[in-house]
Amino acid sequence: MEAAAEGAAVAGFEPGQHLPEAHEDGVWALAWTSRDQLISGSVDETVKVWSAAEGQGERGTLEKTCSFDGHHLGIISAVPSSTGEWLVTSALDHFIRIWSLLTPSTPVRKLAPAPLESWSLALDKSDTLLATGTQKGAVHVWNVESGNLQCALKPDAPREHFILSVAFDESSTPADGQVHVAAGGDDGSVALYDLESQKMLYRIAESSKAHALPVRGLAFLRDGNMLATGSDDSRIHLYDTRSQNLIATFSEHRSWILDLAVSPDGDFIASGSSDRFAKVWDIRMGECVFTSPQMEDQVWSVAWNKDGSTLAAGVDDGSIQIFHRKPAEREA
């Protein structure tokens, strides 16, 4: 695989709006809602909502429309509901907060897990279940409506490792009778759980197909048959979730991969790294098709909008950079 030229925009994507002072500190969490609002969470303890003016379209200028203050330490994760009506956030203060995006004010609900029991968040497709990564190797699953802990998904053998990333397989819902949850650990492991049985299906670790360092990014592809993982070993792995086989490895980053996101059409993976670059990978071609200009600091977060036409990157200097997919590329 040939490396894309560093600092050069490869055909198919181009830089858009730059928000140099979006936050006062690093932007560790980014997410787009189904209503085309960009959510950003920062080490400065705030969550902000950005929207383009009505009628401007997908390339409209983003402006801050509201912010949420309530966490007392840096924001780690921000996940909007599928309807775009509410938002879940977690922070270093150990609290999980649910906010209304329709009537922003105080949090709708607050969950209080034990310290370090909510490092990462994921919502299931039905917006009824919330998964959180814990410091002792388990994944906790919460009922969003009641705020109660529904179950704890644990490894087959006790393992003292930190769960840094979690993801639901969005190809199924609790009503289907089968929901899978993936977890990435600070030991380089990747585990897959079945929610109905509350059993671990398998764990990929300490082998030639496993990561050597912490797994900070994790995302299922649309049909749930493949899982993308990003690690401090600077590699992205693509696994077949049925056979556990390693299908592909992308290895052009020069340092830790801090986040990754799969495009809605399932064709691309975006990654952010401490090497200060964001990259886009074509899954079918198996290669990098876009490398951003070098940012001023580490790229902590990446997120696609609802149709995959726009990519946002959150940087440790408090800035947000927008990239647009060229129309001709989207139609190909």
Q: For residue 253, what pLDDT band results from cuts at 50, 70 and 90? A: very high
The average pLDDT across 149-170 equals: 88
Report helix, strand or coil for 236. Answer: strand
The average pLDDT across 59-87 equals: 92
DSSP lists the bridge partners of residue 168 as 181
The average pLDDT across 179-200 equals: 94
57, pLDDT greater than 70: no
Domain limits of the chain? 13-331
The average pLDDT across 201-214 equals: 92
**Exposed (0-12), middle (13-18) or buried (19+): which is 72, by Cβ within 10 Å?**
exposed
The more confident residue out of 32 and 179 is: 32
Q: For residue 56, what pLDDT is reported? A: 65
Q: Are 216 and 257 in contact (CB under 8 A)?
A: yes
Q: Which CATH architecture has domain 13-331?
A: 7 Propeller (2.130)
Return d(Cα 242, Cα 224) in angstroms, integer. 9
Q: For residue 108, what pLDDT is reported? A: 80
Q: For residue 175, what pLDDT is reported? A: 62
Above pLDDT 70, what percent of the chain?
90
The average pLDDT across 202-226 equals: 92
Q: Nearest to residue 163, comparing CAs of 134, 128, 193, 206? A: 134
Report helix, strand or coil for 134. Answer: coil
Q: How many CA atoms lie within 13 A of 129 on its CB side?
A: 24
Q: For residue 116, what pLDDT is reported? A: 63
295, pLDDT greater than 80: yes
- Ranges 16-20, 50-54, 220-224, most confident: 16-20
Report helix, strand or coil for 331. Answer: helix
330, pLDDT greater than 80: no
Above pLDDT 90, what percent of the chain?
74
**Sole residue written with tokens 């290669």:** 287
**Sole residue written with tokens 């704890």:** 152
Q: For residue 260, what pLDDT band results from cuts at 50, 70 and 90? A: very high
Q: For residue 176, what pLDDT is reported? A: 65
174, pLDDT greater than 90: no
Return d(Cα 95, Cα 205) in angstroms, integer. 30
Return d(Cα 287, Cα 274) in angstroms, integer. 20
88-140 residue pLDDT tens: 999 998 889 999 999 887 668 888 776 666 789 999 999 999 999 988 889 99
- Ranges 51-60, 163-172, 196-205, 314-323, most confident: 314-323
Q: For residue 58, what pLDDT is reported? A: 64
Q: For residue 128, what pLDDT is reported? A: 94
The more confident residue out of 177 and 282 is: 282
Q: For residue 251, what pLDDT band results from cuts at 50, 70 and 90? A: very high
First to last CA, the chain: 22
